[in-house]
Structure 1
Amino acid sequence: MRTNKQVYRSGPAATKFAQAVKVGDALYVSGQVGMDESGHIPADLAAQMQLAYVNLEQVLAQFDASMAHIVDEVFFVTDMQDFMSDAAAIYAARQAVYGAEPAVCHSLLGVSALALPALKIEIKCVACVAHESESHRAKASR
């Protein structure tokens, strides 16, 4: 039995992995980090989180989805003590990104390292997208 997948690839690692894969109504988004298009990584964890969400929103948009479609979210952080010392501000900033108290499952995992030494947080999520994305189909066929 074949699984019908819609795959979105972008960025310098596009040949190695997908940014997102949609199967049915489920959209699986690869971990997004706080690095801009020029490769700049802010030193501050909260600033990295904000930029990771910007990148996440760009991936979701490829499937006509938004933060409101997210049902599960995982934070991978390299320094749990750093994260917890500023957790109230970080979660307040997260709430601002969602526009309300997020109605999502959420996990926080401490890891020894991420892909680049300067990275402090990576955000991975699953979204429920009940509509088929016309824009993604058009982009995927190019």
Structure 2
Amino acid sequence: MKEIIYSNKAPKPIGPYSQAVKVGDSLYVSGQLPVDQEGKMPSTVKEQTEQSLNNVKAILEEAGYLMSDVVMSLVYITDMSKFPELNEVYSKYFPPDEKPPARITVEVKGLPKGALVEIGVIAQKA
């Protein structure tokens, strides 16, 4: 049975999808744009990575999960030359010495709302 998860601490979906869906012990968090609850988006890759991850964290917490429960992350970036900046922020949320999740990072031509970064995750309770 699937359960829809919604957090008031993350932006509302901009289309026909849920912030997250829980199935059994797994949680699937939709890609989070770097937008705050007021619809504002920071300008740099570092700031956008942080906002996207804060949105992910808020949704995880709403469902009773921690960042350490994340087993896979899906990262989209519009400029791979900014990858080191993304990694700098990402490593604060998923420290390399604390068993970080598997990850896919893909450079894309564009993202909704002109974002530079979008991050989704899959979490699993042990």
The bucket for the TM-score relative to the shorter chain is 0.7 to 0.9
Q: Is the 8 A contact 2:36 2:51 kept in 1?
A: yes
For residue 116 of structure 1, give the secondary structure of its aligned residue in structure 2: helix
Q: What RMSD, in angstroms, separates the aligned Cα atoms of the two structures?
A: 1.8
Other structure's SS at 1:13 match? coil
**1:95 Cα deviation from its structure 2 partner:** 1.7
Separation in structure 2 between the aligned mates of residue 9 and residue 22 of structure 1, nearest angstrom: 11
Instruction: Go from structure 1 to structure 2 and tell me whether the alpha carbon gap of 1:12 and 1:53 turns closer, same or farther (over 3 Å shift).
Output: closer
Cα deviation, residue 20, structure 1: 0.4
> What amino acid is the match of 1:129?
K
The structure number with the bigger radius of gyration is: 1
* Superposed displacement of residue 33, structure 1: 1.4
Matches within 5 A, 1:1-142: 4-9=1-6, 11-13=11-13, 16-81=16-81, 83-84=82-83, 87=84, 89-98=85-94, 100-101=95-96, 102-117=99-114, 119-130=115-126
1:103–1:12 CA distance, 2 compared to 1 (3 A): closer
Structure 1 residue 15: Cα displacement: 7.0
Native 8 Å contact 2:12 2:37 kept in 1:
no
Q: In structure 2, list runs of 5 or more residues that go unmatched.
A: none
| CA–CA separation in structure 2 for the residues paired with 1:32 and 1:15 | 12
The CA deviation at 1:9 is: 3.8
Offset of 1:62 from its aligned partner? 1.3
- 2:105 and 2:14 map into 1 onto residues whose CA distance is 26
The CA distance in 2 between the partners of 1:52 and 1:19, in whole Å, is 12
Q: Is 2:78–2:108's contact at 8 Å kept on the other side of the alignment? A: yes
Instruction: Report Cα offsets for 1:25-63 as digits up to 9, x if no partner.
Output: 111000011111111111101100001111011100111
Amino-acid identity (%): 26
- Deviation by residue 1:1-41 (Cα, 9 ceiling, x = unmatched): xxx00112464437721000011111100001111111111
Report the TM-score when normalising by structure 1: 0.77
The gaps in structure 1 that reach 5 residues or longer are 131-142
How many aligned positions are there?
A: 121
